[in-house]
Amino acid sequence: MKTSLYLLGFILAFSTPVTAQDNFQRERQQMVNQQLVARGIKDKATLDAMRTVERHKLVPQAQVRHAYEDRPLPIGHGQTISQPYIVAYMTEIINPRPGMKVLEIGTGSGYQAAVLAEIVDEVYTIEIVNALAESAKNSLREMGYTNIHVKAADGYYGWEEHAPFDAIVVTAASEFIPPPLIAQLKEGGKMIIPVGAPFTNQNLMLVEKEKDGKWKTQNLFPVRFVPFTRN
């Protein structure tokens, strides 16, 4: 009996404890395997970014235990953080690569911006709710992101002084595609945006700007986003 207790103590003393961080890392890996790869997300850069970004640091404390579940979560001010699958899908479809400059409309807590920032050179993100813009800016800075630029403003007008953008990601539902965003999209660029009436199902739409400045759209599938709000 003494020998068994001694061996048990020795094993415990020299084993590595399972930390909360280890648990989150394991949950992220499960999220990628079960929620993303299993549902058809293939882009390696997107999958690597989703494995890396610590979503639990971008949700309210009360929601941390749900951080890697495949559903949106409330972040206050009537806003949500999008479900991981939608974030991955919207990232993959714009074909993000190093060297790109991307505009995001609807920063929220900063999750989509962080995922993009793992891949592209610069992310410019706009949030209309001042408190969320400030909170996201602080969280992203603490997480070490130096290539994300956050502005509290009306996203309808985009961020003209940094245009044109290689891609635009809109994370709030608009009843129509804002013309200033089309104007700020680079020729050959892509925009992903939910379009439709608020508080109902909308269509997730891919917009592609052609070389002659014309643009075409493609309806992807029904979604339900918080509404695109204006000042």
Q: What is the pLDDT of residues 116-160, one digit of tens each?
A: 999 999 999 999 999 999 999 999 999 999 999 999 999 999 999
Measured between alpha carbons, how far is 74 from 63 in angstroms, rounded to an integer?
A: 8
Residue 225 near residue 201 (C-beta atoms within 8 A) = no
Token pair, residue 196, equals: 């439709």
Q: What is the pLDDT of residue 128?
A: 96
Measured between alpha carbons, how far is 115 from 222 in angstroms, rounded to an integer?
A: 23
Q: What is the pLDDT of residue 3?
A: 43
List, in sequence order, the alpha helices (H) in the chain: 2-14, 20-31, 44-52, 84-93, 111-117, 130-142, 179-184
Options 4, 82, 109, 135, the catalytic residue: 82
Residues 6+ apart with CB under 8 A from 162: 101, 103, 124, 149
- Apex CA 166: angle with CA 68 and CA 228, to 5°? 55
Whether 57 shows a pLDDT value over 90: the answer reads yes
Beginning with the edge strand found earlier in the chain, give each strand of the sheet holding 122-127 in spatial order. Answer: 148-152, 122-127, 101-105, 165-170, 185-195, 202-209, 215-223
Domains of the chain: 2-223 (3.40.50.150)
Does 174 qualify as catalytic in the annotation?
Answer: no
Measured between alpha carbons, how far is 163 from 187 in angstroms, rounded to an integer?
A: 11
Supply the pTM of this predicted model: 0.89
Whether 98 shows a pLDDT value over 50: the answer reads yes
Higher pLDDT, 8 or 218: 218
Residue 187 near residue 116 (C-beta atoms within 8 A) = no
Whether 13 shows a pLDDT value over 60: the answer reads no
Q: What is the pLDDT of residue 150?
A: 98
pLDDT tier at 198, thresholds 50, 70, 90: confident
Give Cα 70 to chain centroid, integer Å: 13
Measured between alpha carbons, how far is 37 from 205 in angstroms, rounded to an integer?
A: 22
